[in-house]
Chains A and B, each alone.
Chain A
Amino acid sequence: MKNFRYVARSKAIAARALGDETMVMSATNSTLFTLDEVASVIWEAADGVTPLEDIVAKKICSAYDVAPGLALQDAETLVENLVQHGILLASDQPLLPASATGKEAS
């Protein structure tokens, strides 16, 4: 298990759904990312108060044929990757909207 449970979208990004994908641009360095369908589901659900394991259980495992343990592992890897780029925030405590200012919490 990683040292975070809660994930929230950074405010220092631009983002828009495009079909089943999501375009995300970091406001700090204008790097453009695209999130695939599954990553987009996690992105949309990253409200800072729902634990990641709940997001995976309710949004991923219920919609896709994937083992819960493997899905959570993949989700954690995705979150770590997006946190490194500053477009997602992660913490062991709930992240209130006001805290999602672009500063990484861990």
Chain B
Amino acid sequence: MSGLAAAMAAKALKLNIPLSVQLDLTYRCNERCIHCYLDHDDHGEMTTAEIKDLLDQMAAAGVFYLTISGGEILMRRDFFEILEHARERTFCVKLKTNGVLIREKEAARLRELGVETIQISIYSHRPEVHDAITKMPGSLRQSLDAVRFLRAEGLTVTLANVLMVQNAQDYQSVKALAAELDAKYTIDPTITPMMDGDRSILSLNVDQAALRAVFRDEALIENVEEFCAPPAGVDEDALDMLPCSAGHTACYVSPYGDVYPCVQFPLPTGNVRRTRFVDIWRDSPQFKEVRSITLRDMPSCSKCAHGATCTRCPGLAYLEGNMRGPSSQDCEKSYARTGIPSENYKARHTSPPSFQSLQLVQIQGLQPAARDFSGDAGAAKAAGA
């Protein structure tokens, strides 16, 4: 983040403005990626009019960065109508797509509408690997064609490379492919649980050795020595640190109008079909609770040497059952990065539960019957969570 962008984020935090929103238009998709955290059914998506009204509300609330994602966004026939409305409201728009439905005509329209960047998921340079992950024959070729069409229009494209067991050896070739296509490259070594709490797909996560290799790859990490340095510990200032932007300057809206702190943090805070977006943002007890949490309030992490430098995701912690607890996947990453186990990592590996055997959290808000937000702060968690 540039200094100016960071200054704007700090100002938004002070003014309680939701600077960034990810809006998923649909969970429907033309691919069936083996690691996907969504179901692919339509449980009652917002209509075009509802989404346009939501965009108006978000603009009035101060949202600047708008990430439009899914599902596959082009599965919505009204996608360009929605995007046009978003650009008329002068959002800075980022798109996440698999690109399969983007040909020359769509690329030209995206350029006309002034999209800031388009992120396309590429899992491997090898069709047999990429297509096996997406379960869609020919998808690598179609996605790469889309990248070429978009680049030919001068649009900024980022290849997003999610790492898992199936493609752990391919990331350097995908990075080279990005360079060849004059696209940016980003890598994500974390497979997250499904939004309904199902953790079975976590078995796809790469192992410690692969994580260590990624974190020590100088082609990816600017300063490996600094990045992998032992943690400095937690001081008084660090104890007042906020976990991340989720719920502070950012949030997520599902295709059904449910508002969460983040796509990876499915704590129901309200639904825009019943409550104005800005009222959910300002007044929801759940958002207020998320905003109240600092490192000081985290019993395990505040005592952990990694506390101040950990990439701990509060959403993943929530999905493990406690938003004030550790995120085991980030503990794995801290260990791979520094070679020093976190407090949680040590505890887990003394009597090691697997990711899959950790207690499940049942998330409300995704099924039609469960979308009647009650305002109960504890409603998201099952007993024992």
Contact = CB atoms under 8 A, between A and B. Distances in A.
A15 B64 CA distance: 7
14 contacts: A11-B87, A11-B114, A13-B114, A14-B90, A14-B116, A18-B17, A18-B19, A23-B64, A25-B92, A27-B115, A30-B116, A30-B156, A32-B4, A102-B114
Contacts of A27: 114-116
Given A25-B92, A25-B116, A34 B8 contact: yes
Contacts of B132: none
B11 interface: yes
Interface string B55-97: 0000100111000000000000000000000010011110000
B64 A16 contact: yes
A71 B242 CA distance: 42
Most chain A CB neighbours (cut-off 10 Å) among B64, B87, B91: B64
B209 interface: no
Contact of A18 (B62, B91, B114, B116): B62
B300 interface: no
Contacts of B156: 30
A34 B4 contact: yes
Most chain B CB neighbours (cut-off 10 Å) among A14, A25, A102: A14
Contacts of B7: 34
A18 to B, nearest CB: 6
B82 to A, nearest CB: 16
Interface string A25-62: 10100101110000000000000000000000000000
Most chain B CB neighbours (cut-off 10 Å) among A30, A32, A33: A32
B2 interface: yes
A32 B15 contact: no
Interface of A: 11-19, 21, 23, 25, 27, 30, 32-34, 102
B12 interface: yes
B245 interface: no
Contacts of B92: 14, 25
Contacts of A23: 8, 64
Nearest to A16: B64
B383 interface: no
B62 A30 contact: no
Interface of B: 2, 4-5, 7-8, 11-12, 15, 17, 19, 59, 62-64, 87, 90-93, 114-117, 156
Nearest to B61: A16
Contact of A12 (B5, B15, B93, B114): B114
A16 B11 contact: no
A17 B62 contact: yes
Contacts of A18: 8, 11-12, 15, 17, 19, 62, 64
Contacts of A11: 87, 114
A21 B11 CA distance: 10
B63 A16 contact: yes
Contacts of A25: 92, 116
B211 to A, nearest CB: 31
A69 to B, nearest CB: 32
B151 to A, nearest CB: 15
Contacts of B117: 30
B2 A32 contact: yes
Contacts of B63: 16
Contacts of B93: 14
B85 to A, nearest CB: 13
Contacts of B59: 16
Nearest to A12: B114
A13 B15 contact: no
B11 A15 contact: no
Nearest to B8: A23
A32 B3 CA distance: 10
Contacts of B116: 14, 25, 27, 30
Contacts of A17: 62
Contact of B62 (A12, A16, A33, A102): A16
